[in-house]
Amino acid sequence: MSELATAAERALALAADAGADEAEAWCERSVSRQIRVYDGRVESLSDAGSRGLGLRVFCGARSGYAYGTDLTDAGLAALAHAAVGAARVADEDEYAGLPDECGTTPVEGLFSPAVREWTTERKVELALQIERAARAHAGVTQVEDVVYADSEGEVALANTRGFSAAYEASAAWAYVSAFAGEGADLMTGLGVGLARDPGGLDPVAIGDEGAERALALRGARQPKSRHCPVVLDAFVAASFLGFIGGMLSAEAVQRGRSLFAGREGEEIAWSGLRLADDATDPGGLESAPFDGEGSPSRRTVLIEDGRLATYLFDARTARKAGRRTTGSAGRSSYRTPPSVSTKNLVLDPGDAPLEELLRRAGDGLYVTDVAGLHSGVNPVSGTFSVGATGRLIEDGELGRPVREITIASDLVSMLRSVQAVGSETRWVPFGGSVKAAPLLLGEMAVSGA
Amino acid sequence: MSGLVDPELAARVLERALARGGDFADLYVEDRSSLAVTLDDRRVERPQTGRERGASVRVVVGDASYFGHVDGLAEEDLLRVAESVAQAVRGDARAPAALGAASAAKGHEVRRRPEEVDAATKAELLRACDERARSVAGEIAQVSASYAESRRRVEIYNSDGLAAADDRTRVRLGVQAVARRDGRVETGHETLGGHAGFELLEADPEAVAESAARKALTLLDAVDAPTGKMPVVVGNGFGGVLLHEAVGHGLEADAIQKRASIYAGKLNDKVAEPFVTAYDDGARANAWGSDGIDDEGTPTQRTTIIEEGRLTSYLYDLVRARKDGVRSTGNGRRESFRHLPLPRMTNTYFAPGDATKDDLIAGVKRGLYAVSFGGGQVEPATGDFVFGVSEGYLIENGRVTAPVRGATLIGNGLEALAAIDGIASDLDIATGFCGKGGQRVPAGVGQPHVRLRALTVGGTASS
């Protein structure tokens, strides 16, 4: 048994001693590195280890949570005592409890040893390559930030119903923020890459992407207000899909905080739209063999042929709704108790390349960045007004760059107004972990000058 | 209070950190504990507590920082992390200055230690908030409330001989109310928090709940927001998030030094009318973003960032201050021992003027009164910002009229500063969390009522 699994088992025994009827221990250990380069040199380099344990206890129908970094017997005993003490404060919750269904789903490729085999020097060189690639573009006036980061870690989960499992995972990612123009005309562009190890990152592609996205916006001005078709690029589509995914959590639905409440089975989107949440896709960095409370991972179709197929459930929300868990208990670290969340949202690609989406839009707006999504959307009504940056679409082609605009609509109208999904999908770290594609939307209110 | 690490051990850690050279090294030690309780749907749930101890070591060589952290404060862990950080440096060993015992910072008064208040009292507080919010009107359909307390004891030792300690206690209450009428649903939110003890929540904490409920209720009658350029009066307290986002971030010295800020090269320039003064004040008594020292051991202070319309200072941590040959302004902050310090705001606010809120509104023929924001985003490089208005009203002929929903403010920090044409006297500071570089720290945002001559409002009404 691994050291983590042993600590988890010990915590369960101590929880029972402290008076818990049932308990669950999540123990993790990770090593993470981050390299930031600027102007051809290392600006910061960090290498850090972390380990801790989160203990959830149930005393009758009350539950409490405690976490800590001290994994000695004394530390774990204090944790068990704190968790039981916390449970005493809670009101009774008839739906609280460990999942009825525990188990694991084999997912290949979560860990790549290359993440630790690469030397620090090689990783620094990768970051410098990104910076050079971005600076090589004529018109790039500054490369503000280049970050390479990776992590490797092990997670062990055990509960008093006999579930005990562990897995190892690794991740490597990098991004660059490049500038084009100067002073008041300065525009920024972001390039990103995600993989399981540094060998899976293409530094030149990341650098090029940051530079090209900035250069495409050079000379942007505020356009006149209009109603027009809109094309969202994959970054922006991912941000919206991530927001919508959050609204499909049964937690949000049951608490009356989702505009999708009571709409299961209804048509909420264009008939060609298909969106799934998949915790078993090795390409998605949120994949794992089991969820945050030990239910086996799976793929759940959320929107099929435009209809809302299901919400995402953990054990508690499933019990309350008389349904089964979808394995959607999320956990960002040992410091947080499990709660419903998306894993990897996957949008089914369409068959139109971006050029065709633009052609079909005719005269419209191509959006490459949105700002204020989380403050600009009313989660209950779904109405939104967000800041946007991008290019006009003129005669079916990309035209002049525009900024300081807002686009306004509501999420369901927007989903229904989708006219085509692009054929090029990619993993994007916005809105959670999302495999997104560009989207062609019908007319939206675009306000500028 | 007994120390977290022995100064003699701290000295050995720093010596080991500089074993292969470096201009500067520091050791940051932290012991943090927290408690959070929430109430949702009339039930107290998710009570949780945490206790973390850990340390980090940083070595600065020229413009480069090398960093490592470890969970736990065991002697061998601290020495190992110092050694691993030193591995990245290529040079000759340097001896750090001698260390004394860590001297306690001038802290902020805590009259009633939150951890000494019974947990049941905190649960009762949430129930009282629930009741008060629901008592405001039958339309209040749902209430959630959260209480959080934290205590962070930190010690900082550096190779210049600094040995400093701080003991930080924060409490915060937040209430969200949902109002429902004829299929229409609106939410209202209010918070109260500070670098203080439980005494902060003893006067009339339920007023927070009442305020959240009234906001939600008001929005039920909201009309679509107008669109276009118009005068905007921004509310006091959380309205200051506009200053924080659109100006403050651009004054943080890391952005300035990378020429990633619209404010680079503008020191001493006139950026606003002469009646505009603004501060970043990490020493303000018991304010949410205050500390005794920053996370590099520099005492917090009040820094004038705009004085009578002129830009007067950037915000520095030690590394950026050294590069510019100036002193740190006490803005080197970190989320925890797991993070490198960055120049960050503390409590940022406009100084009060002599107008009243009513004066400011009376001078507007047609405009928007933006009381509070749901959040905002800014691109520091350009100063472009977008804010969602969570509570707003039309101003017509000098009077506040209908509530509006879905309004956003779009603009540019420099243009917005230049557009300020009136400041009231009613300064208030609200509690926010500021995210930057993957780190989240408590930040106070505030201002009196402020009027801007013209700002673009992105609304939902077709114009």
> What is the tens place of the pLDDT at every residue in A282-304?
999 999 999 999 999 999 999 99
**Cβ of B459 and A384 within 8 Å?**
no
- pLDDT value for A257: 81
The answer to whether the Cβ–Cβ distance between B381 and A144 falls below 8 Å is yes
Q: What pLDDT band is residue A64 in, cutting at 50, 70 and 90? A: very high
Q: What is the mean pLDDT of residues B421-426?
A: 97
Contacts of A63 in chain B (CB under 8 A): 45-46
For residue A381, the chain B residues in CB contact (below 8 A) are: 184-186
Q: Which of residues 393-422 of B touch A (CB under 8 A)?
A: 405-408, 410-412, 414
CA B368 and chain centroid, separation: 26
Q: Does the beta-carbon distance from A179 to B52 stay under 8 Å?
A: no
Q: What is the DSSP string of B388-442?
A: EEEEEEEEETTEEEEEEES-EEEEEHHHHHHTEEEEBS--EEEEEEEEETTEEEE
What distance in Å separates the CA atoms of residue A82 and residue A72, rounded to the nearest whole number? 15
Sign of the four-CA dihedral A95, A101, A103, A107:
negative
Q: Which of B41, B53, B185 sits opposite A255 (nearest CB)?
A: B41
CB-based contact, A404 to chain B, within 8 Å: yes
Selected residue of B382, B409, B417, B445 to mutate for chain A interface (largest A Cβ count, 10 A): B382
- Of B29, B4, B143, B161, the closest CA to residue B82 belongs to B29
Query: Are B50 and B162 within 8 A, CB to CB?
Result: no
d(CA B295, CA B283): 14
Sign of the CA dihedral with B151 first, then B124, A15, and A48 last: negative
Residue with tokens 């500067």: B24
Nearest CA in chain B to A147: B437
Locate the domains of chain B by residue range: 7-35+47-104, 114-152+167-220, 224-458
Between B225 and A91, name the one with better pLDDT. Answer: A91
Give the DSSP H/E element, type plus range, for residue A321. helix A315-321
Burial class (CB in 10 A: 0-12, 13-18, 19+), B275: middle
**Most B-contacting residue of A30, A51, A89 (CB-CB within 10 A), to test interface:** A89
CA distance B230 to B219: 21
Q: How far is B297 from chain A (nearest CA, A)?
A: 20
Q: Give the span between the Cα atoms of A336 and A344, in whole angstroms.
A: 19
According to the model, what pLDDT value does residue A385 have?
A: 80
pLDDT confidence of residue A143: 95
On the question of pLDDT at B89 being above 70, the answer is yes
Q: Which residues of A touch B392 (CB under 8 A)?
A: none
B148: tokens are 């959080």
Residues in chain B closer than 8 A to A46 (CB atoms): 66-69, 340
Q: How far apart are CA A67 and CA A84, in angstroms?
A: 12
pLDDT, tens digit, for every residue of A394-439? Answer: 999 999 999 988 888 889 999 999 999 999 999 998 888 999 999 9
Q: Measured between alpha carbons, how far is B23 from B59 in angstroms, rounded to an integer?
A: 7
C-beta of residue B376 within 8 angstroms of C-beta of residue A375: yes
- CB–CB contact A375 B186 (8 Å): no
Instruction: Give the pLDDT score at B405.
Output: 83
* CATH fold for the domain made of B7-35+47-104: PmbA/TldD fold (3.30.2290)
pLDDT band at A108 (very low <50, low <70, confident <90, very high): very high
Is 80 exceeded by the pLDDT of residue A149?
A: yes
Is A90 at the interface with chain B, CB within 8 A? Answer: yes
Number of Cβ pairs < 8 A linking chain A and chain B: 226
Residue B213 has what pLDDT? Answer: 97
Query: Is B148's pLDDT higher than 50?
Result: yes
Inform me whether the pLDDT recorded for B463 exceeds 50: no
Is residue B451 within 8 A of residue B231, CB to CB? The reply is yes
Contact B178 A48 (CB under 8 A): no
Please tell me what DSSP assigns to residue A354: H
Contact B456 A445 (CB under 8 A): no
User: CA-CA distance, B213 to B267, in Å (whole number)?
Assistant: 44
Q: So what CATH class is B114-152+167-220?
A: alpha beta
Q: Which of A330, A298, A302 is closest to A316 using CA atoms?
A: A330
Q: Where in chain A is the domain with CATH 3.30.2290.10?
A: 3-214
What's at B168, amino acid-wise? R
Interface touch B459/A447, C-beta < 8 Å: yes
Say if B7-35+47-104 and B114-152+167-220 have the same CATH topology. Answer: yes
Closest CB to A380 among B84, B187, B386: B187
pTM: 0.91
Sheet holding A299-304, edge to edge: A307-308, A299-304, A275-278, A344-347, A433-436, A426-428
A411-435: burial string, b at 16+ Cβ within 10 Å, e else: bbebbbbbbbbbeebebbbbbbbbb
Residue A443 contacts B where some CB pair is shorter than 8 Å:
no
Query: Quick one: pLDDT at residue B459?
Result: 67
- pLDDT level of residue B376 (50, 70, 90 thresholds): confident
Chain B residues with CB inside 8 Å of A145's CB? 258, 260
Interface residue A257 vs chain B (CB under 8 A): yes
Distance of alpha carbon A277 from alpha carbon A341, whole angstroms: 10
Q: What is the pLDDT of residues A48-62, one digit of tens each?
A: 888 999 999 999 999
* DSSP one-letter code for A13: H
At residue B184, the pLDDT reads: 82
What is the spatial distance between Cα B185 and Cα B178, in angstroms, rounded to a whole number? 7
Q: Please say if the pLDDT value at position B458 is more than 90.
A: no
Q: Sorting pLDDT into bands at 50, 70 and 90, what band is B1?
A: very low
| Phi, psi (rounded to 5 degrees) for A441 | -110, 160
Residue B234 has pLDDT above 60, yes or no: yes
ipTM entry: 0.88
A141-155, A166-180, B214-228: the lowest-pLDDT one: B214-228
End-to-end Cα distance, chain A: 65
Please list every residue in chain B whose beta carbon sits closer than 8 Å to the beta carbon of residue A69: 51-54, 71-72
CATH of A3-214, one of 3.30.2290.10, 3.30.930.10, 1.10.10.10, 3.40.50.300: 3.30.2290.10
Q: Whole-angstrom Cα distance, residue B260 to residue B255? A: 5
pLDDT tens figures, A160-198: 999 999 999 999 999 999 999 987 788 999 999 999 999
- Number of H helices and number of E strands within chain A? 11, 20
> Rounded CA gap, A91 and B196, in Å?
28
Name residues whose C-beta falls within 8 Å of residue B137's C-beta, 6 or more positions apart in sequence: B179, B213, B217
Tell me what pLDDT residue B379 has.
Answer: 79
CA A401 to chain B, closest CA, distance in angstroms equals 15
* Predicted pLDDT of residue A8: 97
* DSSP structural state of residue A184: G
Cβ atoms A258, A380 nearer than 8 A: yes
> Is the Cβ of A432 closer than 8 Å to some Cβ of chain B?
no
Compute φ and ψ for A219, nearest 5 degrees.
Answer: 80, 20
Q: Which of A163-177, A329-343, B129-143, B368-382 has the lowest mean pLDDT?
A: B368-382
Contacts of A243 in chain B (CB under 8 A): none
Contact across the interface for A69 and B51, Cβ inside 8 Å: yes
Cα A366-A192-A133 angle, rounded to 5 deg: 100
**Rounded to 10 degrees, what is the CA torsion of A138, A139, A141, A145?**
-70
Angle at B3 between CA B2 and CA B8, to 5 degrees: 135
CA distance B409 to B234: 10
Residues of B whose CB is below 8 A from A61: none
* Whether the predicted pLDDT of A1 surpasses 70: no
Write out chain B residues lying below 8 Å of A261, CB-based: none
Share of chain B above pLDDT 70, in %: 98
Residue A380 pLDDT greater than 80, yes or no: no
Record: contact B379-A144, CB cut-off 8 A: no
The residue among B406, B286, B309, B294 whose CA lies nearest residue B345 is B294
Q: Where are the alpha helices (DSSP H) in B87-162?
A: 119-136
pLDDT at B462: 47
B258/A142 CB distance under 8 A: yes
CA count, 13 A, side-chain hemisphere, A298: 18
Rg (CA), chain B: 24
pLDDT digit string, tens, across residues B166-209: 999 999 999 999 999 987 888 899 999 999 999 999 989 999 99
**Angstroms from B354 CA to nearest CA on chain A:** 32
Beta-carbon separation of A68 and B141 below 8 A:
no
Report the mean per-residue pLDDT for chain B. 93
For the residues A129-155, what does the mean pLDDT come to?
96
| A115, amino acid identity | V
Q: Kindly give the pairing relationship between strand A364-371 and strand A418-421.
A: unpaired
What is the rounded average pLDDT of the residues B344-373?
A: 96
pLDDT of B460 > 70? The answer is no
Residue A337 contacts B where some CB pair is shorter than 8 Å: yes
Helices B75-86/B7-17 angle, 10° precision = 20
Residue position matching structure tokens 């924060």: B170
d(CA A38, CA A44): 9
A359: number of Cβ within 10 Å:
15
Residues of A in contact with B463 (CB under 8 A): 225, 447
Nearest by CB to residue B46, choosing from A65, A142, A408, is A65
